[in-house]
Amino acid sequence: EADIYQTPRYLVIGTGKKITLECSQTMGHDKMYWYQQDPGMELHLIHYSYGVNSTEKGDLSSESTVSRIRTEHFPLTLESARPSHTSQYLCASSVGVVNEQFFGPGTRLTVL
């Protein structure tokens, strides 16, 4: 069983607030990812990191930013939340070449 954690699980905030979604893993995985998933089910990669101090934007443009100062921690920040940011955000990690990614439980974000 994968040990990857996300907090908060649910978040309801007002427009304009700054928020940080936390993601931590205890498996020592070097690679970490953030996905956005709308109710229509499709997963979109918004950020990824292959190691400490290395971050890249994913396939879907996002106004969020990420940092990777420690191997186990990959937080995602929205400087000014808007209703269009309402979605589920899933964090994942992987190690090695074959790359099965292990997912956290997700954060359901609602911006009013």
Our finding on whether 27 is near another protein (CB under 8 A) is no
Cα angle value 23/15/84 (rounded, 5°): 70
Contacts of 103 (CB under 8 A, 6+ apart): 2, 4, 90, 91, 92
Q: Is 76 in the site for another protein (CB under 8 A)?
A: no
Residue number, 42 or 79, with CB nearest to another protein: 42
Q: Quick one: which of 53, 61, 84, 99 contacts another protein (CB under 8 A)?
A: 99
Q: Does 42 bind another protein (CB under 8 A)?
A: yes
Of the two residues 14 and 39, which places its CB atom closer to another protein in the complex? 39
Q: Which among 12-20, 60-68, 76-84, 99-107 is the span making contact with another protein, rule CB under 8 A?
A: 99-107
Cα 58 → chain centroid: 11
CA dihedral (80, 82, 86, 90) in degrees, to 10, reads: -20
Q: Can you name the residues that pair with 78 across neighbouring β-strands?
A: 19
Tokens of 10: 């649910």
- How near is the Cβ of 49 to another protein at its closest, in Å? 10
Interacting residue ranges for another protein, rule: CB under 8 A: 2, 31, 33, 41-43, 45, 48, 50, 58-59, 88, 90, 92, 94, 97-106, 108
